[in-house]
Structure 1
């Protein structure tokens, strides 16, 4: 179990990859080599004494551990150990910890990675506190502990600093880990996208050669660095001098682009390791997308790349692009590269990569960078988002996703990015979590609505197709964010105005009375209407729909629209329909002044950008003020143009929702008082003792459920099992009258099945109900002897249910709904992925379609929503703390005007398989 859980690939501070795993006896020689290479000072700081070599006894002691009381992890690049971290249990719950990092790899964050992974391993073995002895002059090691974010105390004894570290996770330790992960992954992508030198392996001279095309595009694109080509026979390929083998390439090389047959790729990677390559793009196919042999080949490719410190894009990648004038990298198969701009693009599909780039180019939307992940063996959308968050050239992010390998991390990373830069996502497979060939994705038990909930929670704009992605992106890139959801409509056609207004209402926007002018209205009249609507304080954004009365467009009318929109500082989406040759087109006004004409129009049906400055078209996202809000994007002269009012309004509605999410306080992570995570962990570990991950989930008894919920401050309403009328009366006397009588089989409690009797007030009535129920279906559960449950009546209110699920893909998932038909028949359930903030909890309740019933509906009293939110927060913390909770359901939960009662609960436990985002820096396998 430890080997699977503790072995991982990681990204270090400088962006290089490394491998971390438990030490093994066969590491003795590598450990000795590591030790001998250390300087005398480093050895003294570690062992407090000179030690040129490790004795055979020390080597045996250091490499032979039990992985329980004595744990040691090594960090490797290739076969070389670059860091060692270990702990030894010294007493119950306490272990002494020590690190040693190679002199040659100091400053790469090896020590902090070791500490993170040792902490996770120690928690699993019941360790709660680390102690360490560190010499005062060993500042780097002291910093590893003090900067980790854990509660740390120190004292000096006999000239040695004695550290005590409480390894329970804190908000600060999580922030530190996530910040380090962000910096490392961002840097690893920066090294890929900003290479100083590139080697192309597999560039052929024959026409149609994939490698030759890559080389031609790289050179033709004006790459500013050095280009190397490997060819076994040619001296020159596509005008670039070639060498016979990788051994002849003058190193080091930052990026390698590989286009050789799949069977030869891994051999090439071995050779690239000698050049200190840190980035690898494999366009070759024939890996996991074809068969099991290809899958094995891909796994070996990933092992080799990471083992040698490389980040891998692909295989079956379409390539990568960076339009930065200081780089000009086109290592892709794109026939046309869009101009430089602020849109960062990621695609998991090679074929869709072509579509994405072509669409961006046709619309005049410049891009900053583009990454095609192919089989996504390593570099993913998460990595790209980490990079784009730091990249000043990127203002809007677009992702085409065929699968989401780590939704929990995606949610966390996307949420951080979306706070400053919009994220627009196309996710294929709407009807299910479709996994394309070649993508390694865990199976999921979560409902398909969970993905949409995750994206909304993260502030991501989800669209249905690539067309909509660019519809939204061009609005985000050229316009300021709206301050609200009040929409004004200006049109020179009543029909267009009606279409726009109806579309806005259907998207939940507030619409002011449309301002309609005559189709033949002069520019001055259109300008006046525009100014009136834009200046209205009750209008936050404007949709302008203009159709020419004849075949020619009035350029002065369009110029008036541009000028008024630019001066207003409010977003505008335009529908400018030009009838040219009987075909509907959007109009591009690049380099067009009022009164001039232009034949430079995009293809029919495409959206575009109207602008008075070709270099500014689609490229200004506005200026940012000190608060980070975007203002005045239209001042650049750029205006997004759509072919239909519906397209314009749909895009504007998406941006309105995003702006509302961004304006909101993100909230603080919920941390309810009165929880005891350690007691809960001890309880689940004792209940699962002796079980394995292959065993079926363990259904807890009610006493065990009650004990677990109590660890999180949740009281389960007591019930007593009875098998006769006399027992029922004694139980009612004990719990208090009036009582409810329920079938032990939960399905029989549905209204109409006779499994529940409520508000039973006296013994005579109770005896009659019990006798009747025991004789019918309700008495069939609970074993060989018919049984029922007697429970005190809770206060009147609304019944709800709360569920959690430990999903192999999503990790913990919390679901909420009203008990009854709205959930069972209509699927009215809301979902969120922990950890939750207080704002997430509020949304979990209020995004339910039936939520108005909780706040007073049709004259009914409002219930205690505050108590409900407190319960949801506690259950979300339990789900986040305990991956062993396979599933739980609290139902019914009776929410009264004051307080609530958890009347029933079921919990299943299982040995967890491990979360994809497990509180330490780990690259996906």
Structure 2
């Protein structure tokens, strides 16, 4: 797959190249590990002069036909001038990327800026042996992202008509192409600014590649356990034993240089000695031996590694460096890594039957997929699932999550027909923006339950690499809700919810029926359900279950049939205390029978049971192997889980709306303004814009800041008031005082010059204890409700927009709403109504209702601005005055900075 006569045709190699731009600073942040179409891994990086020999070797390895398609003629070797031209670039006007596997170049993509500074010509060259793996598409995505960063917005290319593969890469990229055929060459041109189509194509390719990558790990054709041991209780012993006893259908090899036989299978000294190929290697050797083992695995063609070895997170900075080296080493050979310090992986599909984990037995097959991070948490999650009789489809313990992450596994689960619901325990997050996007898509078809602690995103566990957030503590929770995630805090809460979603239908509304043999317990459960947002439609209490098993169970069956037949009831909960004549399993069987054939979930809670051997939390009856009734020892836990499911079902049933695209936005003009304003800004420095620059920038997105004037002398204030229009407001510019009428920082409704002069004198005396800050005047806006909008670029979450009602609501009660752009129309609607104090916007206690549509429009615009421009570090509108006639921005603050790396780059890249 090759393209590109044009770049070479424009160069006269007989002339000296003194006019060529010099090599610029190497942009290390452009380097990326990428997942290819078939799930393999490759490394992408900018080219460098040191690649000259590798480029020559790559060229020599190509067929004559391939060389002809690239250069429109045959070249046995590249000249020294050509090599210099190809490898010496400035990373601005001339950019080139190479993709390597095992250190060898397998693909090259480049652009050269044309005389039209916003346009560049692209060319590609892909190894014959690597075609069909999506390398050309990956190079195009990264070249387009680099070009946009350098102010280029249009690509052109010249392709021979017979080069159908390259033409297909352009056509399938989602850009709008124009083609022209002339002189035997197809000229292609297209804008490279992201469109819905191009972003959708990129996400689709990313999804297929990452899903395939995880599928190959969870369903390998063959396995080698390296470090297998005959020492009972050792990690290597257990891993090999569990793989064999789990019934894995493919070849299983034991690798240990000191044994001839292990676990009933022949042992080999090295992986190179194995009689057949190995797709997955499970590594349990001492940490100092891991690098050599990884090299051996690469030489043997292994595709993936599960690293159970410790000595990484528990060895401080040295262990972290060792872990980073492990991932770089594995990826350089095209291998993915689960771990290190992983508990292992499980796949219960009968055709796979893989238990390459520390779990002592294969769990029953079911519809729940589980992902955990550290091994300790993995043990807790696995034990909780087994204890409750939950059937699993797959389990992946990522250990320190050095490579394979929850995002990767969600890509796999989305396509996996065996998985109906998923649960993740997250101790840290590598790319929450991507998580949000994937979770929102996955949650449309499968419930996504996430357990996280209060410190998730705010600190990193040992061995975990990533960013931490500086956003408000509730921003991550808001992002979860926005994505349709069922968020819980503990492993047990995760299992409480998983019991329902893994086998029960979703409730179609909040209507609940409570059935109990205790009036007091039934009333308590009904009250709790109302507190959790459920609506109790039927409360059936006082059931007599002490009249003999047959009579009692038939009475219960009759009552339940009536309850399930009620159209206002969407779910049913049985809350029972011990009865002499019937057991908990008897009751569960009746519940299961009555629920069969309905679309309503049923749960049971058994309180007051004293028998320590009684099984209360889990799926009953026990012989149902995951298909029974979700049962709980605590009625409160049952209600909370059912309410969480009802909330998810409501989210699922809502129209999520379309992405908001406010009219009158000018991204290109804003980009040019930012490039000019950022010219003097270096490194991590931030620049606060002058009010005029801030107002001009915001106006490009249709956001008008009410003008104001800072003054030194009274006459200047009077003149400014005349220009702005009477009456005016007088206020200090001090950010801590400008909203404090009680401290003398604001004076309202000043109608004439004399009054203005008097107020200036009085305000200066009042503010003297605070250092005599500067003053400004502004036209008096109609009275209304003061609101605050804030948008930041967070190191972890990316763009975050926040909104609240000004004053005590946000200052004392932290009553904010948060969202992660991009926003849909539904997101905007919920955002404005998110703060508890937002009731004041809708005519609360006789107050006039404000123009909520104007606030929604402003929210959409600031979210679009922040999503389009990561260079904008902070935007704050304080206050925005909302009234029945609209919403006015009375003060705006804008900070900008360089944004070379963003958490959701437009390049497909793995977290590094």
Same fold (TM over 0.5): yes
Aligned-pair CA distance for 1:670: 1.6
In the alignment, the residues of structure 2 paired with residue 578 and residue 495 of structure 1 have an alpha-carbon distance, to the nearest angstrom, of 13
- The answer on whether the counterparts of 1:519 and 1:547 sit within 8 Å (CA) in structure 2 is no
2:637 aligns with: 647
Name the count of aligned residue pairs: 881
In the alignment, the residues of structure 2 paired with residue 197 and residue 97 of structure 1 have an alpha-carbon distance, to the nearest angstrom, of 41
In the alignment, the residues of structure 2 paired with residue 584 and residue 443 of structure 1 have an alpha-carbon distance, to the nearest angstrom, of 43
Describe the shift of the 1:120–1:829 C-alpha distance in structure 2 as closer, same or farther (beyond 3 A): same
In the alignment, the residues of structure 1 paired with residue 314 and residue 446 of structure 2 have an alpha-carbon distance, to the nearest angstrom, of 33
- The answer on whether the counterparts of 1:754 and 1:778 sit within 8 Å (CA) in structure 2 is no
SS of aligned partner of 1:532? helix
1:687 aligns with: 677
- The answer on whether the counterparts of 1:336 and 1:361 sit within 8 Å (CA) in structure 2 is no
- The answer on whether the counterparts of 1:742 and 1:756 sit within 8 Å (CA) in structure 2 is yes
Q: Would you say 1:791 and 2:741 are equivalent positions?
A: no
2:477 aligns with: 452
Match of 1:817 among 785, 804, 820: 804
- The answer on whether the counterparts of 1:336 and 1:358 sit within 8 Å (CA) in structure 2 is no
In the alignment, the residues of structure 2 paired with residue 35 and residue 820 of structure 1 have an alpha-carbon distance, to the nearest angstrom, of 67
Match of 2:692 among 696, 703, 709: 703
Aligned-pair CA distance for 1:443: 2.9
- The answer on whether the counterparts of 1:717 and 1:903 sit within 8 Å (CA) in structure 2 is yes
Deviates more, 1:842-851 or 1:430-439: 430-439
In the alignment, the residues of structure 1 paired with residue 612 and residue 751 of structure 2 have an alpha-carbon distance, to the nearest angstrom, of 74
Aligned-pair CA distance for 1:577: 4.9
SS of aligned partner of 1:796? coil
2:901 aligns with: 914
In the alignment, the residues of structure 2 paired with residue 804 and residue 834 of structure 1 have an alpha-carbon distance, to the nearest angstrom, of 10
Describe the shift of the 1:59–1:812 C-alpha distance in structure 2 as closer, same or farther (beyond 3 A): same
Aligned-pair CA distance for 1:116: 0.5
Match of 2:719 among 730, 734, 738: 730
Task: Show CA shifts across 1:380-422 (max 9, x none).
Answer: 0000100000110111101111111111111111111111000
- The answer on whether the counterparts of 1:812 and 1:880 sit within 8 Å (CA) in structure 2 is yes
1:158 aligns with: 183
Task: Show CA shifts across 1:307-331 (max 9, x none).
Answer: 0000100111111111111111111
1:828 aligns with: 815
- The answer on whether the counterparts of 1:482 and 1:570 sit within 8 Å (CA) in structure 2 is yes
Aligned-pair CA distance for 1:809: 1.0
Deviates more, 1:370-379 or 1:832-841: 832-841
SS of aligned partner of 1:263? helix
1:627 aligns with: none
Task: Show CA shifts across 1:651-689 (max 9, x none).
Answer: 100000100111112221121111111111111121111
In the alignment, the residues of structure 1 paired with residue 727 and residue 512 of structure 2 have an alpha-carbon distance, to the nearest angstrom, of 55
- The answer on whether the counterparts of 2:410 and 2:438 sit within 8 Å (CA) in structure 1 is yes
Q: Would you say 1:508 and 2:537 are equivalent positions?
A: no
Aligned-pair CA distance for 1:562: 2.5
Deviates more, 1:298-307 or 1:793-802: 793-802
Describe the shift of the 1:289–1:414 C-alpha distance in structure 2 as closer, same or farther (beyond 3 A): farther
In the alignment, the residues of structure 2 paired with residue 797 and residue 210 of structure 1 have an alpha-carbon distance, to the nearest angstrom, of 67
- The answer on whether the counterparts of 2:588 and 2:629 sit within 8 Å (CA) in structure 1 is no
SS of aligned partner of 1:87? strand
The Cα RMSD (Å) is: 1.8
In the alignment, the residues of structure 1 paired with residue 647 and residue 587 of structure 2 have an alpha-carbon distance, to the nearest angstrom, of 30
Q: Would you say 1:341 and 2:393 are equivalent positions?
A: no
- The answer on whether the counterparts of 1:743 and 1:779 sit within 8 Å (CA) in structure 2 is no
Deviates more, 1:255-264 or 1:661-670: 661-670
- The answer on whether the counterparts of 2:457 and 2:468 sit within 8 Å (CA) in structure 1 is no
1:383 aligns with: 408
- The answer on whether the counterparts of 2:313 and 2:400 sit within 8 Å (CA) in structure 1 is yes
1:22 aligns with: 46
In the alignment, the residues of structure 1 paired with residue 318 and residue 303 of structure 2 have an alpha-carbon distance, to the nearest angstrom, of 26
In the alignment, the residues of structure 2 paired with residue 657 and residue 71 of structure 1 have an alpha-carbon distance, to the nearest angstrom, of 49
Match of 1:870 among 857, 862, 867: 857
The 5 A counterparts of 1:316-327 are 316-327=341-352
Q: Would you say 1:771 and 2:754 are equivalent positions?
A: no
Q: Would you say 1:618 and 2:626 are equivalent positions?
A: yes
Match of 1:904 among 885, 891, 901: 891
Q: Would you say 1:844 and 2:852 are equivalent positions?
A: no
Q: Would you say 1:474 and 2:499 are equivalent positions?
A: yes
Q: Would you say 1:750 and 2:760 are equivalent positions?
A: no
Match of 1:305 among 315, 330, 335: 330
Task: Show CA shifts across 1:268-295 (max 9, x none).
Answer: 1011111111110110011144222212
In the alignment, the residues of structure 2 paired with residue 434 and residue 752 of structure 1 have an alpha-carbon distance, to the nearest angstrom, of 39
Task: Show CA shifts across 1:477-497 (max 9, x none).
Answer: 221111111212111111220
- The answer on whether the counterparts of 1:797 and 1:895 sit within 8 Å (CA) in structure 2 is yes
Task: Show CA shifts across 1:414-463 (max 9, x none).
Answer: 11111100011111245872321000021321111111111111111111
In the alignment, the residues of structure 1 paired with residue 26 and residue 690 of structure 2 have an alpha-carbon distance, to the nearest angstrom, of 30
Match of 1:517 among 542, 560, 563: 542
Match of 1:546 among 573, 576, 580: 576
In the alignment, the residues of structure 2 paired with residue 341 and residue 690 of structure 1 have an alpha-carbon distance, to the nearest angstrom, of 59
1:58 aligns with: 82
Q: Would you say 1:101 and 2:126 are equivalent positions?
A: yes
2:10 aligns with: none
Task: Show CA shifts across 1:241-280 (max 9, x none).
Answer: 1222222123431101111111110111011111111110
- The answer on whether the counterparts of 2:745 and 2:763 sit within 8 Å (CA) in structure 1 is yes
SS of aligned partner of 2:845? coil
Task: Show CA shifts across 1:832-890 (max 9, x none).
Answer: 11111111111111121111111221121211111111111111111111111111111
User: Mind listing any 5+ residue stretches in structure 1 that lack a counterpart?
Assistant: 586-600, 620-637
Task: Show CA shifts across 1:329-351 (max 9, x none).
Answer: 11111123311111111110211
SS of aligned partner of 1:839? helix
In the alignment, the residues of structure 2 paired with residue 144 and residue 5 of structure 1 have an alpha-carbon distance, to the nearest angstrom, of 25
- The answer on whether the counterparts of 1:552 and 1:578 sit within 8 Å (CA) in structure 2 is no
User: Mind listing any 5+ residue stretches in structure 2 that lack a counterpart?
Assistant: 1-24
Match of 1:71 among 83, 90, 95: 95
Match of 1:462 among 483, 487, 491: 487
Task: Show CA shifts across 1:724-748 (max 9, x none).
Answer: 3322221111111111111111211
TM-score (norm 2): 0.94
Describe the shift of the 1:431–1:339 C-alpha distance in structure 2 as closer, same or farther (beyond 3 A): closer
In the alignment, the residues of structure 1 paired with residue 902 and residue 593 of structure 2 have an alpha-carbon distance, to the nearest angstrom, of 53
2:357 aligns with: 332
In the alignment, the residues of structure 1 paired with residue 808 and residue 440 of structure 2 have an alpha-carbon distance, to the nearest angstrom, of 33
